[in-house]
Amino acid sequence: MPLFGIDCTRSKLQEEERSLKANDRNFNMKFHYVNNRIKTSKYNIFTFLPINLFEQFQRIANAYFLFLLVLQLIPQVSSLSWYTTVVPLMLVLIITAVKDAIDDYNRYKSDNQVNNREVMILMDGELQREKWMHVEVGNIIRMENNQFVTADLLLLTSSEPYGLTYIETAELDGETNLKVKQALTVTSDMGDHTQDLASFDGEVRCEAPNNRLDKFKGTLTYKGNKYPLDNEKILLRGCTLRNTEWCYGLVIFAGQDTKLMQNSGLSAFKRTNIDRLMNILVLWIFGFLIIMCTVLAIGNSIWESQKGYYFQVYLPWDSDTPNASFSGFLMFWSYVIILNTVVPISLYVSIEVIRLGSSFYIGWDSKMYYPKKDTPALARTTTLTEELGQIQYIFSDKTGTLTQNIMIFNKCTINGKMYGKELQEKTEKVDFSFNPMADPKFMFYDHSLLEAVKIGDPEVHEFFRLLSLCHTVMPEEKQKGALMYQAQSPDEGALVTAARNFGFVFLSRTPETITLVEMGKTVVYQLLSILDFDNVRKRMSVIVRHPDEKLYLYCKGADTIVFERLNSASQHLRDITTTHLDEFAGDGLRTLALAYKELNEIYFTNWQQRYQEASTALENREEQLSELYEEIEKDLTLLGATAVEDKLQDGVPQTIATLSKANIKIWVLTGDKQETAVNIGYACNMLNEDMKNIFIIEGNNSEEVRVELRKASAIMKKEDQTEISIKQPKKPIVIPEENVDGEYGLVINGDLLAYALEDMELEFLKTACLCKTVICCRVTPLQKAQVIELVKKYKKAITLAIGDGANDVSMIKAAHIGVGISGEEGTQAVLSSDFSFAQFRYLQRLLLVHGRWSYFRMCRFLSYFFYKNFAFTFVHFWYGFFCGFSAQTVYDEWFITLYNLVYTSLPVLAMSLFDQDVNDRWSMAYPQLYEPGQFNLYFNKLVFVKCIIHGVYSSLVLFFIPYGSLFEAVRDDGETVSDYQSFALIAQTCLLVAVTLQIALDTSFWTAINHFFIWGSLAVYFAITFTMYSNGMYLMFPTSFPFIGTARNALNQPHVWLTIFLSAVMCVLPIVIVRYLSSELRPTSIDKLQHKIRKIKTLPPKQMVTRLKRPSARRSAYAFAHQRGFGALITSGKNMRMGNINFKPSKTVT
């Protein structure tokens, strides 16, 4: 169990190689491998108190108050009671600890939920149900369809032929397309025989635990033979079993050693930019405090030696004070206690309350509530709210975050006619009731396409016939009559489903046949060959024999590729189709061209013979096959094109456009393929045709990547590439912002990003920061975190990461702010996040409204708080020169106690919780208002110095005006009012009136609560003062309330009220003058914008989610986004169960 961050269960030596035996617990226990229990929480019941206190005392102010407490326990220097410090300090520590405990308990519950999932383990020859956390390295476990993979496993055997297993890896890399894993033949032959599996004693030697998701090296030794192991035989934790009834696996890595957990990153203690600045400012204040106390201590020594020494008869020294110097030493510590109010503990209590209130506002915001899933926004961490107003970089996942991970057959063009309408409010969807095998979830809104199908348009029929034949989809009948498609990609599934609804139902397949139901009639096509797609070919074809014995080749692929292979007769149709494709591209749709040709029997027989020879060639097999593909896939007849929408979440393009106006840079970090990521970049308007250049880094090694980065940087800066030379600094530096002429984009994949992060991180970062948009694709979860750490290290910018899957956890933890979207990929991202909601579009409201307000309010609060406390404290300092530097307080002790606790706490809290310079509608309409937070304009070191100057000036006014007005002054009846108690009362009343006027001046948005708290606090002050200074209180507690009658004797004099009025006006007058002159003579861009908003009488219109249309000549084909297909697997028959081969429709179709 981890103790203070140290995992005591692990071996001290770093594991270099893993060795394990199946079903041999004693052998595996020698290596002390961790079990399958995971832990993402930071604390346990024993470590919570020490670790949490250690974290809290990293806040310098907390350590300072602890030091003050120790001082107050020393009688010789104590000038205030010890409980005045210990009570608020304990309150702050307890509140923070409880909040941290609740946050960590939620993580603990999440861990428990995962750890207590159940799985079947093979033990003592029998399958037993056990919890995940009890699974150990060397166990053989059984999993069933749709279950999460328990640990990192070596696949042994499965229900599918040849030990094949289908998995979905969305939790790991964001991709929802199916992937195939295959067991070794020697283990797959064991099948579902538990006795054979129980007697399996293979020994595995493999690499040590690491975070590389795409690589695995190892060997299996079984019955004296060695078998190589690679990633194709490994099932990783976090994957989901699909289309596979059952499988068995041998646990290789468990728990924290699994690749998923290795990529998750550590839970970091997050502190805001304001917190870090506060630590610096508190150090400044300490230094200032030491100077003041030193001055007063020296003054005391001088006064005692020149005056006090001769007045010992009246003012005797303590017995333990031998001389004036020692008296000065004691007075130094006494003044440290008295002047500690420059950093009061109530400051931190108030900050926590403000952050808590801001967190509640986020949860209460009905405009961030998603009714479809009954999901409100949630602030899971309450200490980071103001940092939401300072974000400069957003790092977003793609799948499930920007997109819904749903593919929709949106439009198509067939034989020169475009089908598919924009969805309007009154648009009636097409009725597919004529087709009993239609998918009820499929929707289409152009009735003319269905009419063309029904009247038998031959081109339309051929179009859908192609879609139902040319694919690698696997059908599955989960319930009688209910067809389910398992597609290698969501695109392919959408196309086959569209064909199904329009009357061309893909029913079943064998290695040699494909069975369709065409307009109610069952038709069997002989499958002769699949010409599979890959990222080079960018197309796929099938060759089939129709029932009438005619041979056809059907091809679909990227339009640029297919158009090159068309016959001359298709030229006119090609021109029309190109126009339609451009329109589809403008809608951000993913396009695909469809073509076919009839084959000559003799030619095909010859071609097939040559194809068989090439397939078995030992040398240049790929090149020979490629030539044969090129030969037969030409002179095609164009049918048309499809347009599939990779459906974005509502409002994503608008949100990105709005955030860009707020000077926020958005980077996409995704595990998806490059083309898919780029497609979404265009669909979201992150990339567009107006950009001057989009740099796609395609180097094959480190040096080529370096050259391409330098070339891109030189183009953007308009510099000579040879002049660019960047040395990696020994110490971290801060890279300044650079502006370039125009907008640029950068695309880089994970393999090349690895080079950039290792050898040339500065070059990569400088080039990336010149671009408006950066897309990193095929990146691992750990690389996502590394990119964020790079930006944090060299840009010193506030970062936000947003994602929805377990593959996003590491970047969510690495960023200053982590946002989880409660999407389709589980709750792991949400549980690791600081804030969560259901839709990406809510991010703009979170930042531009809640984040901006939180930052604005926190800055207003800090400026006012420091001002009022400096004004309060410095009056003590000036008074020291008039009281023999004796550490006597200038105010009544009850006023000192209640000043921050009662008199000034509620007004500043009201301002900090309700104030707003503009309302939420204006904040959304003018994103430029967000920029001051990014540059720390509202509260920084300069603003702090101004607060000190204002406080010092006010303290001079608040001390010397009452002092001068009371000097030798008398009451109306001739009695003096120049006594200490009257002066203390008048000085503290002047102070309170002045700071109350100041907060009234600072308040931009008045509510009934503000009025009640501000003016009510003044009323409470006078009520408490008259009560405490009354005869009754003195008679009951004579030692506690010595100021008997002071209030009624002093405050009934007109010149006292004149003094109070004059002092208050003199305190606020300079601020009024400075603010007026600065806004009139040197207005900032924000001042001008706010002035413009104030002049506009009506509110801006509410934001509506509309579809953005973008002009684009760029088209994308879904084939780009895929790995090599399942074509060879299908034609080999390895993935066919006997049940599938003999599949019959549930209903007899004629």
Q: Which amino acid is at 726?
A: I
User: What angle (nearest 5°) sits at the alpha carbon of residue 1121, between those of residues 1118 and 1125?
Assistant: 90
Cα–Cα distance for residue pair 271/665, rounded to 1 Å: 22
DSSP sequence for 35-99: -S-----S--TTTHHHHHHHHHTTSHHHHHHHHHHHHHT-TTT--S-THHHHHHHHHHHHHHHHH
- Of 413, 270, 346, which Cα lies nearest the Cα of 817? 270
Beta carbons within 8 Å of 1131's beta carbon, 6+ residues apart: 511, 527, 529, 530
- Of 819, 816, 872, which Cα lies nearest the Cα of 844? 819
Q: Both tokens of residue 584?
A: 């589809």
Q: Which amino acid is at 687?
A: L
Cα–Cα distance for residue pair 705/529, rounded to 1 Å: 39
Q: Are 338 and 79 in contact (CB under 8 A)?
A: yes
Q: Both tokens of residue 322?
A: 């031998």
List residues with catalytic annotation. 397
C-alpha distances in angstroms, 30 versus 140, 153, 199, 534, 720?
Answer: 18, 20, 21, 46, 61
Cα–Cα distance for residue pair 173/937, rounded to 1 Å: 39
C-alpha distances in angstroms, 613 versus 610, 619, 628?
Answer: 5, 11, 11
Q: Both tokens of residue 221?
A: 């030794």
Q: Is 406 helix (H, G, I), strand (E, B) or coil?
A: strand
What sign for the dihedral angle of Cα 957, 962, 963, 964? positive
- Of 556, 562, 530, which Cα lies nearest the Cα of 544? 530
Cα–Cα distance for residue pair 207/183, rounded to 1 Å: 19
Cα–Cα distance for residue pair 748/756, rounded to 1 Å: 10
Q: Are 661 and 927 in contact (CB under 8 A)?
A: yes
Region for residue 247 given its phi and psi (left: phi exceeds 0; alpha: psi -120 to 50; beta: otherwise): beta
Beta carbons within 8 Å of 1022's beta carbon, 6+ residues apart: none
C-alpha distances in angstroms, 780 versus 346, 896, 1122?
Answer: 45, 57, 17
Beta carbons within 8 Å of 415's beta carbon, 6+ residues apart: 459, 460, 463, 573, 639, 640
Q: Is 313 helix (H, G, I), strand (E, B) or coil?
A: coil
- Of 544, 521, 522, which Cα lies nearest the Cα of 531? 544
Cα–Cα distance for residue pair 465/462, rounded to 1 Å: 5
Q: Is 666 helix (H, G, I), strand (E, B) or coil?
A: strand
Lay out the sheet containing 203-207: strands in order across: 17-21, 203-207, 218-222, 225-229
- The burial class, CB within 10 Å (0-12 / 13-18 / 19+), for 601 is exposed
Query: Phi/psi at 644 (nearest 5 deg)?
Result: -105, 135
- Of 15, 5, 44, which Cα lies nearest the Cα of 253? 15
Cα–Cα distance for residue pair 995/1013, rounded to 1 Å: 13
Strand extents, DSSP E, 325-452: 378-379, 391-396, 403-414, 417-419
Q: Which amino acid is at 512?
A: E
- Of 304, 309, 295, 302, which Cα lies nearest the Cα of 339? 295
